[in-house]
C-alpha cells in the first residue's frame, strides 16, 4: 500500500465522511491532521485514532478563513515534516427553493463549499511544489450531476468545485495528483444544516431508505490515494445502488 506513512489533512473531520475518512486512512498507516470547527469533536476523533495506535494532530479550523488553512498546512509540516494529501471535505448543504430567499444560507454555502476549497488549495500548493509531489482530493456531490428542485445553490457550489478540480488537474503537471469524489446519499448529519423542516424531513427519509455508510466514501478516497505516484484517479462517483 502507498498510503502508509503519508501525511493527510482532512477538513470537516469531526463527523460523517470526514471522520470515516480519517479513521480509515489511519487504519491504513497514514498520519492524520484533523480539522473542523468543533474542537471537542475532532479531539474525540483524534483520541480514537491514538487509542488504535495511529499518529494524529488536530486544530480547530474555519475553512472560510484563509489564515486557518495556512496555519493547518503549517501544522502538518511542522509536526510531521511534510504534507502528502489534502482532503477538502468540509461542506454544508442547507437546501431550499430560490423563492424562499435564504440568501444568508447561499452566502454561507459559497464561503464554505467554494472558498474553503480554494483556500485549502492555496495553502497546500506551495508545499507540494517544494516537495515535488502531492495530492488534492475534493469531495463534491452527485447533486451536481442530477439537478433537482431545492438543490440549485448547493449543486452550483459543488459544480464550481468540480470545475476547479478539473482545471487544477490540467495545470498540475506530472507530480501533483488531483481527484474529485462525488458521493450520493450517505448516512451523515447532512440534513441538520437545513432550516426548512420539510426539506430536512425529506432528506432524512431518503437517507433512511437508501443511504450508504460514510465508510464507503472513505474507501473510495483511500483507493485514489493508494495508487502509484504516476496514476491519477481523476473522478469517482459513488452512490447507493438504489439512488436514481
Cell numbers representing residue 91 in the block: 461542506
CB-neighbour burial class of residue 37 (10 A; exposed 0-12, middle 13-18, buried 19+): middle
- Degrees, nearest 5: CA angle 80-218-237: 125
Residue located via cell numbers 447533486:
143
Cell numbers representing residue 108 in the block: 454561507
Cell numbers representing residue 195 in the block: 432550516
In the sheet that 7-11 helps form, which strands lie side by side, from edge to edge? Answer: 55-60, 31-36, 7-11, 85-88, 134-139, 176-183, 235-238
- 121 in Cβ contact with 83 (< 8 Å): no
Active site residue 154: yes
Report CA Rg, the chain: 17
Q: Which of 58, 80, 154, 185 is catalytic?
A: 154
Cell numbers representing residue 6 in the block: 503519508
Cα separation of 112 and 22, whole Å?
A: 20
Question: Would you tell me how many other CB atoms lie within 10 Å of the CB of residue 198?
Answer: 10
> Which DSSP category does 211 fall into?
P
Residues acting as catalytic residues? 154
Amino acid at each position: 500500500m502507498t498510503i502508509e506513512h503519508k501525511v493527510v489533512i482532512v477538513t470537516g473531520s469531526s463527523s460523517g465522511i470526514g471522520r470515516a475518512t480519517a479513521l480509515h486512512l489511519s487504519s491504513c498507516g497514514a498520519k492524520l491532521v484533523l480539522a473542523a470547527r468543533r474542537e471537542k469533536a475532532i479531539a474525540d476523533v483524534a483520541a480514537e485514532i491514538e487509542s488504535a495506535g495511529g499518529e494524529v494532530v488536530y486544530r480547530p479550523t474555519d475553512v472560510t478563513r484563509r489564515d486557518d488553512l495556512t496555519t493547518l498546512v503549517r501544522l502538518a509540516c511542522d509536526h510531521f515534516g511534510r504534507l502528502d494529501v489534502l482532503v477538502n471535505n468540509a461542506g454544508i448543504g442547507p437546501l431550499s427553493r430560490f423563492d424562499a430567499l435564504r440568501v444568508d444560507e447561499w452566502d454561507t454555502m459559497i464561503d464554505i463549499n467554494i472558498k474553503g476549497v480554494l483556500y485549502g488549495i492555496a495553502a497546500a500548493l506551495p508545499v507540494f511544489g517544494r516537495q515535488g509531489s502531492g495530492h488534492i482530493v475534493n469531495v463534491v456531490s452527485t447533486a451536481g450531476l442530477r439537478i433537482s428542485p431545492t438543490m440549485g445553490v448547493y449543486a452550483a457550489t459543488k459544480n464550481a468545485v468540480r470545475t476547479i478540480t478539473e482545471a487544477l488537474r490540467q495545470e498540475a503537471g506530472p507530480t501533483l495528483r488531483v481527484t474529485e469524489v462525488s458521493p450520493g446519499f450517505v448516512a451523515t448529519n447532512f440534513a441538520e444544516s437545513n432550516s426548512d423542516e420539510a426539506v430536512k424531513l425529506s432528506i432524512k427519509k431518503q437517507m433512511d431508505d437508501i443511504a450508504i455508510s460514510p465508510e464507503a466514501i472513505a474507501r473510495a478516497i483511500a483507493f485514489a490515494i493508494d495508487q502509484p505516484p504516476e496514476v491519477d484517479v481523476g473522478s469517482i462517483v459513488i452512490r447507493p445502488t438504489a439512488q436514481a
